Protein backbone atom coordinates (compact mmCIF):
# COMPACT_ATOMS: atom_id res chain seq x y z
CA UNK A 1 0.00 0.00 0.00
CA UNK A 2 2.83 2.32 0.98
CA UNK A 3 4.67 1.46 -2.24
CA UNK A 4 1.57 2.22 -4.26
CA UNK A 5 1.18 5.59 -2.54
CA UNK A 6 4.85 6.39 -3.15
CA UNK A 7 4.58 5.35 -6.79
CA UNK A 8 1.50 7.54 -7.26
CA UNK A 9 3.31 10.49 -5.64
CA UNK A 10 6.33 10.07 -7.93
CA UNK A 11 4.12 9.78 -10.98
CA UNK A 12 2.07 12.83 -9.97
CA UNK A 13 5.24 14.89 -9.35
CA UNK A 14 6.65 14.02 -12.77
CA UNK A 15 3.36 14.73 -14.53
CA UNK A 16 3.08 18.13 -12.77
CA UNK A 17 6.70 18.98 -13.64
CA UNK A 18 6.06 18.16 -17.31
CA UNK A 19 2.77 20.08 -17.26
CA UNK A 20 4.49 23.12 -15.70
CA UNK A 21 7.13 23.19 -18.44
CA UNK A 22 4.36 22.98 -21.04
CA UNK A 23 2.45 25.78 -19.25
CA UNK A 24 5.55 28.00 -19.23
CA UNK A 25 5.74 27.65 -23.02
CA UNK A 26 2.03 28.44 -23.33
CA UNK A 27 2.36 31.45 -21.01
CA UNK A 28 5.23 32.83 -23.13
CA UNK A 29 3.04 32.45 -26.22
CA UNK A 30 0.15 34.27 -24.53
CA UNK A 31 2.44 37.01 -23.21
CA UNK A 32 3.93 37.65 -26.64
CA UNK A 33 0.45 37.58 -28.16
CA UNK A 34 -0.61 40.18 -25.56
CA UNK A 35 2.44 42.34 -26.27
CA UNK A 36 1.65 42.10 -29.99
CA UNK A 37 -1.95 43.22 -29.38
CA UNK A 38 -0.73 46.01 -27.08
CA UNK A 39 1.69 47.21 -29.72
CA UNK A 40 -1.07 47.23 -32.33
CA UNK A 41 -3.26 49.25 -29.95
CA UNK A 42 -0.39 51.68 -29.31
CA UNK A 43 0.05 52.14 -33.06
CA UNK A 44 -3.68 52.84 -33.44
CA UNK A 45 -3.56 55.39 -30.62
CA UNK A 46 -0.63 57.16 -32.27
CA UNK A 47 -2.15 57.00 -35.75
CA UNK A 48 -5.76 57.94 -35.07
CA UNK A 49 -5.98 59.64 -31.69
CA UNK A 50 -2.49 61.24 -31.57
CA UNK A 51 -2.81 61.03 -27.79
CA UNK A 52 0.34 61.81 -25.82
CA UNK A 53 2.43 58.75 -24.93
CA UNK A 54 1.24 58.33 -21.30
CA UNK A 55 -2.40 58.12 -22.42
CA UNK A 56 -1.52 56.01 -25.49
CA UNK A 57 0.42 53.48 -23.36
CA UNK A 58 -2.37 53.32 -20.77
CA UNK A 59 -4.95 52.69 -23.51
CA UNK A 60 -2.73 50.00 -25.07
CA UNK A 61 -2.39 48.31 -21.65
CA UNK A 62 -6.13 47.60 -21.66
CA UNK A 63 -5.80 45.45 -24.78
CA UNK A 64 -2.46 43.82 -24.03
CA UNK A 65 -3.79 40.95 -21.87
CA UNK A 66 -0.98 39.33 -19.86
CA UNK A 67 1.50 41.96 -21.17
CA UNK A 68 -0.73 44.80 -19.99
CA UNK A 69 1.46 45.40 -16.94
CA UNK A 70 4.39 46.36 -19.17
CA UNK A 71 2.38 49.10 -20.92
CA UNK A 72 0.66 50.21 -17.71
CA UNK A 73 3.93 50.54 -15.79
CA UNK A 74 5.56 52.43 -18.65
CA UNK A 75 2.62 54.86 -18.66
CA UNK A 76 2.89 55.29 -14.87
CA UNK A 77 6.64 55.91 -14.95
CA UNK A 78 6.18 58.44 -17.71
CA UNK A 79 3.38 60.23 -15.87
CA UNK A 80 4.89 60.17 -12.41
CA UNK A 81 8.64 60.47 -12.90
CA UNK A 82 9.92 63.95 -13.42
CA UNK A 83 12.32 64.16 -16.36
CA UNK A 84 11.70 60.63 -17.64
CA UNK A 85 11.42 60.04 -21.39
CA UNK A 86 9.17 57.39 -22.97
CA UNK A 87 12.19 55.25 -23.85
CA UNK A 88 13.48 55.34 -20.26
CA UNK A 89 10.02 54.58 -18.86
CA UNK A 90 9.65 51.62 -21.25
CA UNK A 91 13.01 50.15 -20.26
CA UNK A 92 12.24 50.64 -16.56
CA UNK A 93 8.88 48.90 -16.99
CA UNK A 94 10.56 46.10 -18.94
CA UNK A 95 13.07 45.60 -16.14
CA UNK A 96 10.18 45.28 -13.68
CA UNK A 97 8.29 42.79 -15.85
CA UNK A 98 7.91 39.17 -14.73
CA UNK A 99 10.79 36.94 -15.85
CA UNK A 100 11.07 37.06 -19.59
CA UNK A 101 13.35 35.12 -21.91
CA UNK A 102 16.43 37.19 -22.67
CA UNK A 103 15.60 37.18 -26.40
CA UNK A 104 12.10 38.52 -25.75
CA UNK A 105 13.43 41.19 -23.42
CA UNK A 106 16.00 42.27 -26.01
CA UNK A 107 13.32 42.37 -28.68
CA UNK A 108 10.97 44.54 -26.62
CA UNK A 109 13.83 46.79 -25.53
CA UNK A 110 14.15 47.81 -29.18
CA UNK A 111 10.95 49.83 -28.79
CA UNK A 112 12.64 52.14 -26.28
CA UNK A 113 15.05 53.55 -28.83
CA UNK A 114 12.61 55.58 -30.88
CA UNK A 115 9.52 55.71 -28.69
CA UNK A 116 7.90 59.12 -29.05
CA UNK A 117 10.87 60.77 -30.74
CA UNK A 118 9.50 61.19 -34.26
CA UNK A 119 6.40 62.21 -36.16
CA UNK A 120 3.50 59.80 -36.51
CA UNK A 121 4.63 58.34 -39.84
CA UNK A 122 8.11 57.48 -38.57
CA UNK A 123 6.77 56.27 -35.22
CA UNK A 124 4.48 53.87 -37.03
CA UNK A 125 7.31 52.65 -39.29
CA UNK A 126 9.53 51.89 -36.29
CA UNK A 127 6.73 50.22 -34.34
CA UNK A 128 5.66 48.20 -37.40
CA UNK A 129 9.17 46.78 -37.65
CA UNK A 130 9.00 45.75 -34.02
CA UNK A 131 5.50 44.37 -34.51
CA UNK A 132 6.68 42.13 -37.34
CA UNK A 133 9.51 40.79 -35.21
CA UNK A 134 7.12 40.31 -32.32
CA UNK A 135 4.72 38.45 -34.63
CA UNK A 136 7.56 36.15 -35.67
CA UNK A 137 8.50 35.56 -32.03
CA UNK A 138 4.84 34.87 -31.25
CA UNK A 139 4.61 32.31 -34.06
CA UNK A 140 7.81 30.71 -32.87
CA UNK A 141 6.45 30.60 -29.32
CA UNK A 142 3.18 29.10 -30.56
CA UNK A 143 5.08 26.41 -32.44
CA UNK A 144 7.17 25.59 -29.42
CA UNK A 145 4.13 25.59 -27.13
CA UNK A 146 2.34 23.14 -29.44
CA UNK A 147 5.26 20.78 -30.08
CA UNK A 148 7.44 21.02 -27.00
CA UNK A 149 4.35 21.34 -24.80
CA UNK A 150 3.17 17.94 -25.91
CA UNK A 151 6.67 16.51 -25.49
CA UNK A 152 7.00 17.89 -21.96
CA UNK A 153 3.60 16.52 -20.99
CA UNK A 154 4.44 13.10 -22.47
CA UNK A 155 7.85 13.21 -20.80
CA UNK A 156 6.14 13.91 -17.49
CA UNK A 157 3.95 10.87 -17.81
CA UNK A 158 6.62 8.65 -19.37
CA UNK A 159 9.42 9.73 -17.06
CA UNK A 160 7.19 9.25 -14.03
CA UNK A 161 6.19 5.78 -15.18
CA UNK A 162 9.81 4.76 -15.86
CA UNK A 163 10.90 6.06 -12.47
CA UNK A 164 8.12 4.16 -10.74
CA UNK A 165 9.05 0.95 -12.56
CA UNK A 166 12.71 1.40 -11.68
CA UNK A 167 11.98 2.00 -8.03
CA UNK A 168 9.46 -0.81 -7.62
Looking at 85-93, 102-110, 132-140, 153-161, which segment touches another protein (CB under 8 A)? Answer: 85-93
Can you tell me the distance from the alpha carbon of 135 to that of 38, in angstroms, rounded to the nearest whole number? 12
Which of 9, 12, 117, 132 touches another protein (CB under 8 A)?
117
Which of 89, 94, 130, 164 touches another protein (CB under 8 A)?
89
Which of 32, 35, 41, 46 touches another protein (CB under 8 A)?
46
DSSP state of 63: T
Q: What is the largest CA-CA distance in the chain?
A: 72
Instruction: Name the 3-class secondary structure at 140.
Output: helix
Please answer whether residues 60 and 38 qualify as being in contact, where contact means their C-beta atoms are separated by less than 8 angstroms. yes
Smallest separation, CB 42 to another protein (Å): 11
User: How long, in residues, is the chain?
Assistant: 168
Does residue number 100 form part of the binding site for another protein (CB under 8 A)? no
Which of 23, 27, 85, 92 touches another protein (CB under 8 A)?
85
- Name the residue among 27, 80, 29 with its Cα closest to residue 57: 80
Q: Which residues bind another protein (CB under 8 A)?
A: 46, 50-54, 56, 78, 82-83, 85-87, 89, 115-120, 123
Amino acid sequence: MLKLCGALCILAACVIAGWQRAQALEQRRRWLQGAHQGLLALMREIDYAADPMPQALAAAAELAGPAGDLFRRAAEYLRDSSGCTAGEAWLQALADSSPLAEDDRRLLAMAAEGLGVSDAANQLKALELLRLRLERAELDAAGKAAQLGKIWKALGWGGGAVLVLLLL
